[in-house]
A and B are shown apart, each in its own frame.
Chain A
């Protein structure tokens, strides 16, 4: 966010405004300047130093040998000699070519580096906050599944290693991933978002009403609703029960019918995939620890599976933000 205070033509903001880069957040320069955040990236990116300078819009410092060349040439210029000029021109041409080809290489490794930093940045406090603003405005699109009813999605990768797969959209409502509808995103590497961001987002902002449509949000601006009274809410396994796959369950599973009659699962063409979209009618059925406990009243194992006994967990008042270590406040809410 601090990058927005910089010149509007910064590399980062121009990169993020490119077609197909709509999902990217603008990484703050502070984050990039902290070497700790870049640990290990120098071995993953070619021309790391140049790429980093390009991202930060630092005037490229010529390497020592280049500097010498330049000084020499500057010196040459003061002496007027035709021979010199032609030689200079040839040298300049050569240098120009080299710089041009270097630039494209640097440009692509800068993009790679930016992507890899981006993967880390959006899991940081400032980054996830910025992504939540983009999420609220439905910048990442909506779920194509009919029963999810246009809920907003999050960009994720299926791998943390670049070059494996392109970016996908994670729908928190059906806990599934989809190919972005526009083909321009098929050139964006999934590793630039990483596997972690999507699920981490859900845990960081437990108060979001995931079942809200993207359309509504755009219509009404971003006025937080629903989560107004976060006092007593049904919890399941550390998540608000209403936020655990609200797009699944009874009435949201497609039932194949022919002339109004359900197709039997005994038919060869019968339904086989219903389980993928099912959700127990009573969500507390998923509290495995609680179910395990009564059967093993005397066994210590039952109560130590999660470190805390399930009974205790229910008794305790829910902590602010679900006890997330990253206490970030949902935008415009609480």
Chain B
């Protein structure tokens, strides 16, 4: 089995372009059982017959499950890369590596550095690519397959997540996961994902996708957890929950006045809100029923 890294063509420029149109994802996926073991095996001269794409290897390697594949066309259009040359070390070599035209003879350390730069470059281009029409649809497919995981919040009932960054600048915050149902952000479960830079997804992508595909917006649920002790609500959290429900009702009233669909599961039902109010009143009069750890 030829090592992974030797599959990156070094001698034959543009060889793969003969076989595959750039728009189609490559049919052959790498199988990489010996990936880690051969990291420094860069210089071995074995040639391979694989249609080799650095990007293909990158997105299929472990830990990079959140990334989608960037089209060749997008990468080769210099306009899309504006400003990245100052952000990435060895920009030109890194770009060559990403586009599979890398043919520099250099030592292992150098290759390692360039490889790192290439990954960084790919991430930064990725943040731009996923807000394009094609990028959005690729990420949509992954979202539908729940490739980014599911919301850990019990009331969200395993709603699929979307990756996001809290900053558009690299090396600030790691990637987080956004749940469209509770509109909150969560840390990835696995440590191999929590090491990914959030800037590789950006602060806007997960909001843009719902503007482009409004049908994807999940119905919001007012269901929530209420702390109880032997069936009785606990006074302090219950008071906070009542206050939060007040905020929610204000929001719904505002939206109703503007005739905007609020998107809640029980929307349009004025009754629903009335019963909530009643509930609140009942709670209010039965406050003795709450366990108050009174000081």
Contacts and interface: CB of A to CB of B under 8 A. Distances in A.
A127 interface: no
B153 interface: yes
A195 B236 CA distance: 17
B154 A265 contact: no
Contacts of B187: 144-146, 150
Interface in A254-307: 254, 256-260, 263, 265-269, 271-280, 285-289, 305-307
Interface stretch (B24-32, B102-110, B176-184): B176-184
A245 B183 CA distance: 18
A178 interface: yes
8 contacts: A144-B186, A170-B225, A175-B240, A258-B207, A272-B220, A277-B184, A305-B288, A306-B287
Interface string A172-199: 0001111101000000000000011011
A280 B176 contact: no
B295 interface: yes
B134 to A, nearest CB: 19
B282 interface: no
Pairs of residues from A and B, 9 with the lowest C-beta to C-beta distance, nearest first: A238-B293, A199-B227, A237-B236, A275-B248, A269-B210, A273-B183, A239-B236, A275-B247, A318-B295
Contact of A313 (B258, B284, B294): B294
Interface size class of A (residues with CB under 8 A): 35 or more
A158 B154 CA distance: 10
Given A245-B240, A276-B244, A278-B244, A145 B185 contact: yes
B183 A271 contact: yes
B263 A268 contact: yes
Residue with the highest number of chain B CB atoms closer than 10 Å, among A177, A237, A313: A237
Interface string B221-242: 0001101111100111101111
Q: What does DSSP make chain B's interface, helix, strand, loop or mixed?
A: mixed
Contacts of A199: 227-229, 234, 237
Nearest to A248: B240
Nearest to B234: A199
B292 to A, nearest CB: 5
Contacts of A144: 152, 186-187, 189
A236 B234 CA distance: 12
Nearest to A237: B236
Contacts of A285: 243
Contacts, number: 185
A144 B194 CA distance: 12
A207 to B, nearest CB: 12
Contacts of A235: 295
A237 B245 contact: no
B155 to A, nearest CB: 8
A144 B204 CA distance: 22
Given A260-B203, A268-B214, 19 more contacts: A144-B152, A177-B155, A179-B154, A199-B237, A203-B293, A237-B239, A244-B240, A245-B240, A256-B183, A258-B203, A258-B204, A265-B255, A268-B217, A268-B261, A276-B244, A278-B243, A286-B243, A288-B242, A306-B287
Contact of A238 (B258, B260, B292): B292
Interface in A129-150: 144-147, 150
Contact of A305 (B154, B236, B247, B287): B287
